[in-house]
Amino acid sequence: MAVKLTLLLLGFCAGLITAARFDGYDYWLNAERQNYQQARFTCSRKPGGQLADIKTAGGLPSKALEDFIVSKVIGGHQYSDSAFWIGLSKVRGRWEWSDTTRADMRANWHTGVPTNHGGKEHCGQLKHWRSTWGLNGGICSDHRKSICQKDYNECSQNNGGCSHKCVNTVGSYYCTCPHGFQLSGETNCVNMTVDECSSDPCRNGGTCRNVTDEYRCDCEPGWTGVHCETATICENLPDGTFLPHPSDCSRYVRCHQAGHDAVFTCPPGTRWSQEHNTCVISAPDTCD
């Protein structure tokens, strides 16, 4: 899905604060100066909230997201504060983001950091230093403002633009289609269903129904088989046996044990006579 940037207001803690939306996440500033653990807890007080991971899906630091946060989330706070807690910490000797993705140490860090400062720098900051913003290690007990984030449910507005089902994922979403449909582009479902009944496969008055990837024949009384091709009255009778049609006296059946019983129609004004084994004249519009 394309990157989406939105400014919004979020109710949080003591009141409304300006926040922003970037590529599937909401970001906001926790303006209370706290140590790292307190900041992490404060972010989590909003359902799904956490300290912000300023990275791509693959774990690389995201300069585009960093610039966005500085401009739209930190904003004027950068003039009073030079460092903000983010979702980066040192775990078992390596730097990780909140989702345990290993942080790339080659990009977006300030030159020469993290220095570890006597073994005390275990918590990550977004820091302004020497006229640039970058990643930096900090002492976890320091009190600083922090940047929070949470997944934004794209499906909550207009079904994400999906014509059928919208499925929210962390930082993104996707559209799905019902059986017989497929996606055309990212959001629209196109009917790909084949009419399995178009060949009129059901015989002897059977009704065809489309079902998943096939069809079914609902047979008239007296008929059975995949295509309603077998007269039940013909069971165990010799091939070539003639019988009256199960429901229409103007027709008759010739049995065939291979399951291909044939149906014949008497000439107009006649009906099938089992006694004479042929079609005979009948009263108009009756079987008498």
Is 168 among the domain residues? yes
Per-residue pLDDT, 14: 40
Give, for 43, the enclosing helix (H) or strand (E).
helix 36-44
Query: 180-184, 209-213, 255-259: which has the highest mean pLDDT?
Result: 180-184
Residue type present at position 155? C
Whether residues 225 and 260 fall in one domain: yes
Most confident of the ranges 95-99, 143-147, 281-285: 143-147
Average pLDDT over residues 229-236: 83
Nearest to 203 by CA among 273, 251, 239: 251
Give domain status of residue 59, yes or no.
Answer: yes
Tell the burial category of 68 from Cβ atoms under 10 Å away from its Cβ (0-12, 13-18, 19+). buried
Report yes or no on 199 lying in a domain.
Answer: no
CATH number at residue 228: 2.170.140
- Domain assignment present for residue 197? The answer is no
Please tell me which of 3-7, 31-35, 79-83, 219-223 the model is most confident about, judged by mean pLDDT: 31-35
Percent of the chain with pLDDT over 90: 34
pLDDT band at 160 (very low <50, low <70, confident <90, very high): very high
Higher-scoring residue by pLDDT: 192, 275 = 275
| Side chain identity at residue 202, one-letter code | C
The answer as to whether 288 is a domain residue is no
In this structure, of 14-18, 85-89, 167-171, the range with the lowest mean pLDDT score is: 14-18
**23 Rama class: left (phi>0) / alpha (psi -120 to 50) / beta:** left
Task: State the Cα–Cα distance between residues 183 and 267, nearest whole angstrom.
Answer: 54
Give phi and psi for 18, each to the nearest 5.
-70, 135
Residues 72 and 127 in one domain: yes
Query: Is pLDDT above 60 for 169?
Result: yes
- Owning domain of residue 168: 160-191
CATH code for position 110: 3.10.100.10
Residues 230 and 118 in one domain: no
The whole-number average pLDDT for the span 262-281 is 87
186 and 239 inside one domain: no
Whether residue 285 has pLDDT greater than 70: no
Task: Specify the pLDDT at position 12.
Answer: 42
Q: Give the alpha-carbon dihedral of 24, 30, 35, 37, to 10 degrees.
A: -40
CATH of the domain at 165: 2.10.25.10
CA gap 139, 124 in Å, rounded: 9
Encode pLDDT of 95-139 as tens digits. Answer: 999 888 888 777 778 776 766 666 788 999 999 988 889 898 999
Same domain? 146 vs 9: yes
pLDDT at position 7 is: 52
CA 103/CA 86 separation, integer angstroms: 12
State mean pLDDT over 151-171: 92
User: Is residue 202 assigned to a domain?
Assistant: no
Asked if residue 147 and residue 62 are part of one domain, the reply reads yes
Q: Are 200 and 208 in contact (CB under 8 A)?
A: yes
| Number of structural domains in the chain | 3
Note whether 219 and 113 are same-domain residues.
no
Least confident of 10-19, 79-88, 213-222, 262-271: 10-19
Average pLDDT over residues 164-182: 90
Residue 233, pLDDT score? 83
Of the chain, the percentage scoring pLDDT greater than 70 comes to 86
The verdict on 10 and 123 lying in the same domain is: yes
Question: Which residue, among 62, 210, 189, has the nearest Cα to 126 in the 3D structure?
Answer: 62
Do residues 15 and 127 both lie within one domain? Answer: yes
* 135 assigned to some structural domain: yes
> Looking at the domain assignment, is residue 286 inside a domain?
no
The model's confidence at residue 246, banded by pLDDT at 50, 70 and 90, is: confident
- pLDDT for the residue numbered 70: 92
Please report the pLDDT score of residue 3 as a whole number.
46
pLDDT at position 1 over 80: no
pLDDT beyond 60 at 241: yes
Same domain, 147 and 170: no
Q: State the pairing for strand pair 230-231/242-244.
A: unpaired
From 21-35, 112-126, 131-145, 260-274, the region with the lowest mean pLDDT: 112-126
176, 236: one domain:
no
CA distance between the termini of the chain = 74
One domain for residues 111 and 64:
yes
